[in-house]
Amino acid sequence: MKSIKKKIVITGGEGRFAKTLKKNNKILNISYPNKKMLNILSIKSIDNYFKKIKPKYVLHAAALSRPMNIHDKNISKSIDLNIIGTANIVKVCEKYKIKLIYFSTNYVYPGKKGNYKEQDPILPINNYAWSKLGGECSVKLYKNSLIIRLSMCEKPFIHKYAFSDIKSNFMFHDDFVKIIPKILNKKGTINIGGKIQSIYEFAKKNNPQVKKKSGKKIFPPNPSMNISELKKII
């Protein structure tokens, strides 16, 4: 694939995914601002940075994610970073007509039956997912945008245990990096993930030492997504 010269900014430039992107990206022209350079809680900070860099695209990956229970213990922080911060990014992208790609989560789906399509009803399974859906709401108002509902994790699988009774379709950060150039000009909502399987099956292939664990008390049994729309693109 040819290199893409148009400037891209990724928020959360020092985050886990951004570091993987920086390491593996060969074709995209990306800026990786840290929190001091681009503070998503400050409209002025966002405006100044976008005005300086003049990006064609923004990958909005900055978010509060782990530990998952932080979204129960500190809802103010969850609201600030995942909802208000996202709304701020949307406002400035709209001002400068910048294409926005928002990183959401498969956990916005109910998690009961699995294989959820983009048009299926949503019902977030925990406070983290509610905060990401809050971000989706502001993004949806801006038509020059793409919401990607992601199921991904770091490589290697970092946990000692993996749920054997919860199905998902995780993919590694490295694999998602390869997809980004192909979705830059898409709009709407796209599910992005790998093969539907138990989290344990996924983890075992990469980390043979991982042990089985039940996740029934933590998650619904099957928040997996249908990725047929993604397959048409890649």
Q: Between these two residues, 68 and 137, which has the higher pLDDT value? A: 137
pLDDT average, residue stretch 137-165:
95
- Report whether 37 contacts 49 (CB < 8 A): yes
% of the chain exceeding 70 in pLDDT = 99
Residue 104 lies in a domain: yes
> Where residue 67 falls among pLDDT bands split at 50, 70, 90?
confident
Residue 214 lies in a domain: no
pLDDT average, residue stretch 203-211:
92
**Residues in Cβ contact with 67 at an 8 Å cutoff, skipping those fewer than 6 apart:** none
> For the chain, what is the mean pLDDT?
95
> Where residue 158 falls among pLDDT bands split at 50, 70, 90?
confident
Count: domains in the chain = 1
Residue 204 lies in a domain: no
> Where residue 87 falls among pLDDT bands split at 50, 70, 90?
very high
Q: Between these two residues, 8 and 155, which has the higher pLDDT value? A: 8
Residue 218 lies in a domain: no
pLDDT of residue 24: 94
For residue range 100-114, list pLDDT tens digits in order.
Answer: 999 999 999 999 999
CATH code assigned at 20: 3.40.50.720
The upper half-sphere exposure of residue 93, i.e. CA atoms within 13 Å in the direction of its Cβ, equals 30
Residue 50 lies in a domain: yes
Letter for the amino acid at 155?
K
Structure tokens at 233: 């693109």
Q: Could you tell me the pTM of the whole model?
A: 0.96
> Measuring CA to CA, which residue among 161, 158, 152, 172 is closest to residue 212?
161
For residue range 41-64, list pLDDT tens digits in order.
Answer: 999 999 999 999 999 999 999 999
Residue 203 lies in a domain: no
> Where residue 1 falls among pLDDT bands split at 50, 70, 90?
low
% of the chain exceeding 90 in pLDDT = 90
Residue 228 lies in a domain: no
Domain extent for 138: 4-156+170-194
pLDDT of residue 78: 97
pLDDT of 120 > 80? The answer is yes
Distance CA 95, CA 192 (A): 28
pLDDT of residue 2: 64
